[in-house]
Amino acid sequence: MMYPHPIIAKEGWPYLALVGGVALLVHYLGGIVWSWPLWIIFIFVLQFFRDPQRIAALGRDLVLSPADGRIVVVEKTMDPYAEREALKISVFMNVFNVHSNRSAVNGLVKEIQYFPGKFVNADLDKASTENERNAVVIDANGQVITLVQVAGLIARRILCYIHVGDRLKAGERYGFIRFGSRVDVYLPLSAEPLVSVGDKVFATNTALARVPGLD
């Protein structure tokens, strides 16, 4: 859901408080010689939970990237959540990417499906069907767009803050995945992909595809 952008994601505040508190205590008792590894961990956690505000890519009929990362899949396949043939575009997030997830389109949330599963490397194709995942099916002006948060090798928590019946705006923050993962996007076959495998993308800033009649 939308909330004032604090630069650091709200999901990271408990982790920062814990690691920072321990680092300060060890620094006070033993000095930098003993505390420097904890400060390095603190800096890593700080960068992982950064959550910068984003400006949406300009243009009509655009599907925005729901996550930061690298494109690992652009292919036609079955969308098992909306039960249709679709164009699938997958974004892999490593531990150095921003992990906030944002809506790819304006639309109405029609379904939310959660599946428990494994935690294999999210860079692998089988992660889409074997890993823990959460699928959101959106009606975008009559076009069906499915966003799937997929847990990864290190990720152990998928967070989704929306509900069936909610209306989303393109670029609106709707979830978070902790510590490495991927997001699969299923689009109508009429979609024109604007990215290729290997491309680096940024949530909201980058358009993944163009779908005629989306807006």
Q: Which pLDDT belongs to residue 190?
A: 94
Question: How confident is the prediction along the chain (215 residues), in pLDDT tens digits per residue?
Answer: 445 556 888 888 888 999 999 999 999 898 888 999 999 999 988 888 888 888 888 888 999 999 999 999 999 999 999 999 999 999 998 888 888 899 999 999 999 999 886 665 555 666 577 778 899 999 999 999 999 999 866 655 788 999 999 999 999 999 988 766 889 999 999 999 999 999 999 999 999 999 998 86
- Cα 106 from Cα 170, distance rounded (Å): 5
Q: Which pLDDT belongs to residue 6?
A: 65
Among 85, 101, 169, CA closest to 134: 101
Catalytic option among 128, 181, 190, 196: 181
Q: Which pLDDT belongs to residue 1?
A: 46
Q: Which pLDDT belongs to residue 214?
A: 81
Q: Which pLDDT belongs to residue 12?
A: 80
Q: Give the phi and the psi of residue 157 in degrees, each rounded to 5.
A: -155, 115
Task: Specify the pTM.
Answer: 0.86
Q: Are 202 and 54 in contact (CB under 8 A)?
A: yes
Is 181 catalytic? The answer is yes
